Chains A and B, each alone.
Chain A
Amino acid sequence: MEDVKAFIESGILELYVLGDVSPAEKQQVEAMVQQHPAVKAELSEVEKALESYALANAVEPSENQRNKILNSLVTNLADDATFTKKDSAATDNVVVMTATANNFYKYAFAASIALLVGSLVALFNVYNKLQKSNLQLVAMTTQNQRISKTVSYMNDALGVFRDTTFKVLKLKGTKNLPAGGMTVAWSPVKKKVMIDMTALNMPENDQAHQYQLWAIVAGKPVDLGVFDKSSADSSDMKQMKSVAAPTVFAVTLEPRGGSVNPTMDKMMVAGSVSL
């Protein structure tokens, strides 16, 4: 017990409470406290005295400190593993804000691209329609020209048929062409001969031959010109050479360019003028 009393009176307990001991002394004090209740009681008295002294010299921290400090501890309570919870939360915030800003530009960029693609598609469609419209316009113009041409031919034809001076003759097929026939209009006054290409009921001639129209005047054949029978360009009144006082009109098939005298056995159609 003498040891204990000396230990207590050495003042080491006071230094222990004040945190002013070496690690070795610290261990020694803790061992003595474990072993001797008197030392433990003495230590407790010293502690209470200094605790009271601290209380007597206490300084109240400002009001806002309570919430600030409690919040920092409660934050730690929620996530005990993280000492720097506040810092990482702040960092998280920054990351979130950056992400938001990035997303805005990302979406804006995507929207622009979509708009651009949409515009290109629309532009392409409009261009295609324009092309189609142009083609239709060309086709219609062509058709219009054809119709006006047809109308003018028909006017010509009608003019011929309306002209009272014209005589209209139906030439009939010969033995060479029993089903053949054509129409010739002849004006004795104007000395004009027209053939109606539309009503040309004859087979198409080949490249080496052409039809030739003849008029028999005073028993002799007179050349009135050549013509072709083709599928195209047949809506016409074709004007032939002039002739006066013919008695018969006839058509023969001659070598291309026509002949001076008609090849009689190639006579296709013929008809006499009834005066």
Chain B
Amino acid sequence: MSKKKISLSEEELVLALRHREKIAVEALYDMYSASLYGVICRIVVDEATSEDVLQETFVKIWHSFSSYSPDKGRLFTWMVNIARNLSIDKLRSKDFKNHNKNQELENNVTFIDEQRNTVYKPELMGIKELVQKLKPEQKSILDLVYFKGYTHVEAADELGIPLGTIKTRLRMAIIELRKNFN
């Protein structure tokens, strides 16, 4: 596990990816695979399928990189939306539905955390604790939208909460995160 991982600044990475450099591919994987996989496997759950989706995600990132524009947002935002959309597509595909009926979506987040080796990096020790500071109603909405691929409309239905309240809680959850992270 002591393998040397490549890390670049986001600007350097974007530039290297534009130039189709091999090192950019490795840096991209080392920097973002775990974060993207965390989102993917919370939506998809099944491990083999999650790994497929992770590969599809990197292939799509690599091939449609020309459509990414730093003006419109950060690289990770663009990538995580690709990962989430591919995960939801996979989840809704017919053959996947057929063999994965027994998983309760609601329990996925804790289920994943119990089942898998989530990342324990020294620099993340504080973050883990801070995440716990989110109020439960904030965390549940954020997780539904961020880790389940729910739209805020679907989340409002699911939780039986008015749309406006959902939006507010989502915003407050993110503000809480900003306080802790930034």
A23 to chain B, nearest CB (A): 13
A48 to chain B, nearest CB (A): 6
| A56-B128, A57-B147 given; A73·B58 CB < 8 A | yes
Cβ < 8 Å to A, chain B residues 97-148:
109, 112-113, 116-119, 124, 127-128, 130-131, 142, 145-147
Pair B76/A59 contact, Cβ less than 8 Å: no
What residue of chain A has the Cβ atom nearest to residue B169's Cβ?
Answer: A11
Cβ < 8 Å to B, chain A residues 42-78:
43-62, 65-66, 68-70, 72-74, 76-77
| A43-B73, A59-B119 given; A52·B59 CB < 8 A | no
Pair B33/A48 contact, Cβ less than 8 Å: no
Pair B77/A47 contact, Cβ less than 8 Å: yes
Q: Is B182 an interface residue (CB 8 A)?
A: yes
Pair A33/B131 contact, Cβ less than 8 Å: no
B143 to chain A, nearest CB (A): 9
Pair A14/B170 contact, Cβ less than 8 Å: yes
Contact with B along A242-255 (1 / 0, CB 8 A): 00000000000000
B77 to chain A, nearest CB (A): 5
Q: Is B12 an interface residue (CB 8 A)?
A: no
| A15-B152, A61-B33 given; A53·B167 CB < 8 A | no
Cα distance, A59 to B53, chains bound together (Å):
14
With a CB–CB cut-off of 8 A, which chain A residues contact B37?
Answer: 58-61
- Kindly count the residue-residue contacts between A and B in the assembled complex, taking CB atoms under 8 Å apart: 158
| A57-B38, A59-B119, A61-B34 given; A46·B178 CB < 8 A | yes
Main secondary structure of the interface of B (DSSP, over half): helix
Other-chain residue from A10, A14, A18, A52 in contact with B127 (beta carbon distance below 8 A): A52
A248 to chain B, nearest CB (A): 134
Pair B59/A20 contact, Cβ less than 8 Å: no
Pair B124/A55 contact, Cβ less than 8 Å: yes
Cα distance, A240 to B128, chains bound together (Å):
149
Interface size class for chain A? 35 or more
With a CB–CB cut-off of 8 A, which chain B residues contact A53?
Answer: 131, 142, 146, 177, 181
Cα distance, A68 to B55, chains bound together (Å):
8
Cα distance, A43 to B178, chains bound together (Å):
12
Other-chain residue from A11, A17, A57, A69 in contact with B42 (beta carbon distance below 8 A): A57
Q: Is A219 an interface residue (CB 8 A)?
A: no
With a CB–CB cut-off of 8 A, which chain A residues contact B39?
Answer: 54, 57
What is the number of residues of chain B that contact chain A, defined by CB distance less than 8 Å? Answer: 59
What residue of chain B has the Cβ atom nearest to residue A67's Cβ?
Answer: B29
Pair A52/B73 contact, Cβ less than 8 Å: no
Other-chain residue from B58, B63, B77, B151 in contact with A20 (beta carbon distance below 8 A): B151
Cβ < 8 Å to A, chain B residues 148-182:
151-152, 167-168, 170-171, 174-175, 177-178, 181-182
| A11-B171, A46-B174, A57-B147 given; A73·B25 CB < 8 A | yes
B3 to chain A, nearest CB (A): 8
With a CB–CB cut-off of 8 A, which chain B residues contact A46?
Answer: 174, 178
Cα distance, A167 to B119, chains bound together (Å):
144
Q: Is B4 an interface residue (CB 8 A)?
A: no
Which of B35, B39, B182 lies at the interface centre, i.e. has the most chain A CB atoms within 10 A of its CB? B35
B49 to chain A, nearest CB (A): 13
Given contacts A51-B77, A60-B37, 16 further A-B contacts (CB under 8 A): A10-B167, A14-B167, A14-B170, A16-B73, A44-B74, A46-B174, A47-B73, A53-B131, A54-B35, A57-B147, A58-B119, A60-B34, A60-B119, A61-B33, A72-B58, A72-B59
Residue numbers of A with Cβ under 8 A of B are 9-11, 14-20, 30, 33-34, 43-62, 65-66, 68-70, 72-74, 76-77, 80, 83
A-B contact pairs, 11 of them (CB 8 A): A10-B167, A30-B72, A56-B128, A57-B35, A57-B38, A57-B39, A57-B109, A57-B113, A59-B117, A61-B34, A83-B59
